Structure formats: C-alpha cells, structure tokens
Chains A and B, each alone.
Chain A
Amino acid sequence: MTRKYPARGVTLLETIIYLGLLSALLAGLIVTTYPIFTNTANNMQTVTAEGEAAFILRKINYMLSDADAILAPGASGPALIVSRTTGSEQMTIRFDTSSHELFFSENFSPEISLVNSRVEITDFKVNHTEPSGNTPRLIEVEFKVDGTPVGPWKKYVHF
C-alpha cells in the first residue's frame, strides 16, 4: 500500500502568521508574568515590613509593661530607655539615624540589631508625655517602615 502525503508545505503567509501569533503569545506571557513575579516580591517585602513593625511595637509594649521609670526620652527622641523591677533591669531601644538601624539592649549588654536587614526603618521617634492630673504617663511611638508610616502607637504607663 502506498501512502500519499500532502503535495505542498506551509506557505510563507502561514509561517508569518504563526510567527506573529507566537510572538504575541510570548509578549503576553512576559507582560503578565513579570508583574506577577515583581508583585510577589513586593508582597513578600510588604508582609516582612509589617511583621517587623509589629515586632518592634510588641517589643516596646513588653518593655513598658513592667517599667517603673522612663529614663529617656525626656520629651521626644530617637531612643526609649526604661527601668524595670525598681532599677535592677534596664532596657533600651535606640535608633541610629545614620545607619537607619534599630538596636536593642537589655541590662547594659551589647546592642543587637532588632530589625531584619531587608527592611528599612526611618524617622523613628518616641514621644514621652508626663502624667497630668489623673491622666497617666503616655508613650507614643512612630516610625516609617520602608517608607510607610506606622503609628503613632500609644501606650499609657502606670507607675
């Protein structure tokens, strides 16, 4: 038995059309997948930044929970230093304005960086309002994480 095959191949026009379609598909694929990858990276960065911000605030909340004196700031500044357990413990959170790093130390031990290096903290500021009448002492914290403002976060301290 003899098999017969098409007598002619694809035309130039068909080839051009296929190439055009393929190009369109590839272009569409690139246009759509690129934002996906960049978005994924952005999402991860945002989630990391929010997580770091939450961690900083919880750390400060912990510092203030047993505080018996606020050693710094007097009114406003880039560091929070608290005394705990009637002066036998001291905790510090200090913002380095040049390196944009946040450092933490406990009981005068060497400072450790508090924040993931992938996240940039800027404009870290602690406001300290002395008690007035029956209104307790107020600590307000605000900063920017990757440019996004956080706060002012408030904590009234009773001691």
Chain B
Amino acid sequence: MKPTIYKRGVATLELLIALAVGVVMISGAAMLSFGGQTMRLDTELVEHGLYRGFSVIEDTMAALSADWNEDGTSPFTESVYTASTTIADISPCLKLVGGGIKWDSEKDRRFYSGLETLVSSVTEAKKLGGGCDPFPIVTNWEKPKAYEFPSGILHSGSRGTDVEVFKQNGKRIAFLTTEYSGGGGANLWIVDVTNPESPILLSSFAADDKNVEAIAALQPNYVFLASASTTAQLQIVDVSDPSDPHLAGTARLPNLTNGSGRSIFYYDNKIYIGTQFVGCPPPCASNLNNEFHIYDVSSTTIPAWQASINVDRNVNDIAFYNGRAYLAIGAGSTNPFTPLRVYDVDSSSGTYLNQLGSFGIGINRQGTAVYVLDDTVYLGLQRATSGNNFYIISTEDLSSAIGSADFTGNNTEVGDIFVQNDFAFVGIEGANSQNTFQAWDVSNKVSPIRLNTCTSGNPYPQNLSGLEYLDDLIFASFRSGDALRVIYDTKVSC
C-alpha cells in the first residue's frame, strides 16, 4: 500500500490557530495585569477608608465628650469617601457609636466599611447617681426565672414598693422600700444580694411609720425616699454603712396642706419628687397645691427646695432626659386624656418650669410608669379590661405614639419600666404570676414583641411594683408574697 502524500501545506489554518492561541494568551495576560492593578487600587482604598472610619469614630467620641446628647452627623464627603455616623443609646450612660465609610471603586464597584464601638460616660453615670449599668444586655430573656427567696428574711407583712441596687465595697446591695409593716417596723430594707441565691438581710430602717413609695440613689452613700408622709415627703438616708443606716435629712414639700410623696428621681445633685394629686379648694393660691418639686441635694443633710410645678394630677413616676422631666400622671377628666406630660426643668432655659408638651389618649387611664432612652419615651398605663397600656413615643413628637402594645391583665397597672438597648423590662401590678414580669424586644418600636411568652406555673409573686437591672439580673419588688426577688435569664429559648 502506498502512503498518501500531501503535496500542499495547511498554512492558512495553522496561521489562524496560531493567531487564536496568541489572542487567548494576550487576553489572559492582560486580565492578569489589570487584575493586579485593581487589587492594588482596592488595597489602597480600603486602607485609607479604614483610616477615615477610625477618625470619624474618634471625632464622634470627642463630640460626645463635649456633649453627651450629641446626635450623629449627616453624611459628608472627603475625597472619594462618603462618611456618616450613628449614635444609639444603650443605656443613659452608654452609647453605641457607628462610623460608616463608603466609596465607589473603578467600574462602579461599591464598597462599604463600618466600625462600631461602645462609649460610656462616667460623667453621665455620676449625674445619675451611679445607677447606670455600663454593659449592653446580651442574653435573650425568653425564659427568665426567679431565685427562691429564703423565708424569714423580711417581715412577712412587708409589701414592696420599689428597689435600688448598687455595689458597695465589692458587694451588691439591694435597698428595698416597702409599705410600713407594723410587725417589722420598717419601710427600708437593706439586703446583701451578692449571691442572689442566698440573700442576707443587713438591716432595716424607718424614719416614721408611713409607707415609702419610691427610692432613688446617690451611690454609694445615700438613698432618697419618697414617703407617703405629709410632713416629710423627702427623706434622705445615709447608707454608707449598710448595716447601720441613719437619717441624714428630711424635707417637707413647701406650701402643702396635704399630699404624700409617691415618685422620685435623682439627677445631677437634684431630686425631682412627685406627690399624689393635691386639691385646692378655693380660695387657694396657685402655689399651695403643687405636685412636682425640685430640690438641690448638694447638701444631703439640708436639701434646698428650688421650684415647684402645679401638675394638678397624681405624679406617679418621673424620668429625666435632656433637661426635661417626663411625668407619668393622672390622665385628667376630659378628653384628650393626657397620662404623660413634659416639663422644662433646665434652670438655664428660657422656658424653665414651662410645660413643653403632653401625650394624649382617648380614654381616662393614669400613666403609672415612664422611662426615657434614646429620644424615646416608654409609657405604661393603667388598664381596665381591654386596650393597650404600653406606648412608645418619640421625645421629638408627642402628638402620636410610634408603637403600642398590650401587657394583658384586667384591672392592672404598670408598676415599673426599665429599658436597656433593645430590651424593655416591665413590672405589672394586678396581673397574674406569669404576666407580672415581662421582657419585651423593642428593637422595632412600631411593633414591640414580648419575649417571655412560654412561662409556666407560678414563676413570681404577683404585683411587681419596682425593678432594677444590674449584672444581667433583675431585682424586683413585689406587693405580695416575697417583697424582694431576683430574676435571672435561664438563656433557654421559648
């Protein structure tokens, strides 16, 4: 067999193949080359973006040092970068500062770098009397429980009204106020709750035989009591030695013929104290029936009265925020009923002591608890048989609520509210055992969600009247059963 001999080459085809191979190689090499340039560009942009992000955070922290109520800045542009900051309150003395940097790289590729840090204010914590937990809440609070309280520690007839907790010499001490108990003969009980499973009663105290309705603290040495007395509504107790408390000073609210203390708040050497509604049958001068009073307590032995406001309602709870007093009050007798009023209590302001606004609802219900954090008011009300008794309101716009919810339970009232980052802890008086303590997720202010919905049995005494958050624990006062209980999160999900 003869082999076939091709006499002509295939030069054109070879040429095309060679060209194709060449194009592929050049394309690949070009991509590799330009890809390297892109990587270098991005490395530079990212590094410089981070420097700017760090500087933005530093600027915001410095601005907060100068003014703790500083808001975040509007976006601003530097070179190719657009920077913005956000500031969110975790607690009255703790803020979450965020700095965001975004930029467009080549071919419209968009980049974003965000930094966050926590900023605490020692100055603000001191102004609050030290009552400010500097850590955000991290657990879920879906299935909280109360530690068993050993019997016999407090007098069995003691009905708790409010509680303060703080550290003294490395120990965690609870200051429980109660209705005056005949058998125990006290209305202030000081309990070492360093070990919440084994509390130790250190001492008890009473300046008189009246109920104490509310407590505020100037850590670590003094507590201020709002007494149901009509002659010494403000009582200051030196608790520097918790086993031997003694009365440091008292004050009778001025120009009152009656009216007992029922709410109190400490801020920056001032005590804000509220009373029950004080009628003023004519003839009666307008300064003779004021329910809200301001004292300078720079001297804890001689509190100095500064000013009063005729609220003409029960002043059931007080919160101070940004120079303003937020009062949970009686709703009034005509529509719109206003269970919340706001007064200017900044003595340097031109509108000092003026009413700045109110929040109205269509039904006559008393405001019974109020807490203000991050430009937001959390208001609790009485509840009859239906409707919402929890309102979330912007401090900038009191005309309508951002959101609301129903704490459930007929003929109840909100005893106390405490808010930290996205958690609201609520005590309800009159509710059953499963509903007397409630934890809510308020990250979505329009639709807050209750967290502890799977509670079973009788986890707590009824009638939670006051609560305080410290060290990831809730210290609660109850008007029934054990007057003081410590609630912890089991960290179990519902």
Q: Which of A's residues lie within 8 Å of B, judged by CB?
A: 3-8, 10, 14, 17, 21, 24-25, 28-29, 32-33, 35-36, 39-40, 42-43, 46-47, 50, 53-54, 57, 133-136, 138, 148, 150-156, 158
Contact = CB atoms under 8 A, between A and B. Distances in A.
Nearest to B11: A14
Interface stretch (B34-42, B250-258, B338-346, B352-360): B34-42
A43 B5 contact: no
A17 B15 contact: yes
Given A50-B47, A54-B47, A135-B65, A36 B33 contact: yes
B25 A152 contact: no
A6 B9 CA distance: 10
A154 B55 contact: yes
Given A21-B18, A134-B66, A39 B3 contact: no
B285 to A, nearest CB: 42
B146 interface: no
Interface in B39-74: 39-40, 43-44, 47-48, 51, 54-55, 58-59, 61-63, 65-67
Given A43-B39, A156-B61, A150 B51 contact: yes
Given A28-B25, A153-B55, A138 B36 contact: no
A7 B54 CA distance: 79
A120 B420 CA distance: 50
25 contacts: A4-B3, A6-B7, A7-B7, A8-B7, A14-B9, A14-B11, A24-B22, A28-B25, A28-B26, A33-B29, A35-B33, A36-B29, A36-B32, A42-B40, A43-B39, A46-B43, A46-B44, A50-B43, A53-B47, A134-B67, A138-B62, A148-B44, A151-B51, A153-B54, A153-B55
Contact of A28 (B22, B36, B61, B62): B22
A136 B18 contact: no
Interface string B435-462: 0000000000000000000000000000
A46 B11 CA distance: 47
Q: Is the interface of B mostly helix, strand, loop or mixed?
A: helix
Contacts of A35: 33
B30 interface: yes
B40 A17 contact: no
B2 interface: yes
A120 B388 CA distance: 68
Nearest to B63: A135
Contact of A152 (B55, B61, B63): B55
A40 B67 contact: no
Contact of A156 (B2, B44, B65): B65
Contacts of A42: 40
Nearest to A29: B25
A153 B66 contact: no
A144 to B, nearest CB: 12
A54 B44 CA distance: 11
Give the interface residue-count category, chain B.
35 or more
Given A53-B47, A156-B58, A36 B36 contact: yes
Contacts of A156: 58, 61-62, 65
A138 B63 CA distance: 12
Pick from B33, B39, B59 the residue with the most CB of A within 10 Å: B33
A32 B29 contact: yes
Contacts of B40: 39, 42-43, 46-47
B3 A3 contact: yes
A7 B30 CA distance: 44
B55 A47 contact: no
Interface in B196-226: none
B339 to A, nearest CB: 36
A101 to B, nearest CB: 22
B67 A154 contact: no
A156 to B, nearest CB: 4
A5 B22 CA distance: 32
Contacts of A50: 43-44, 47
B3 A32 contact: no
A35 B18 CA distance: 23
Nearest to A42: B40
A135 B26 contact: no
Nearest to A3: B3
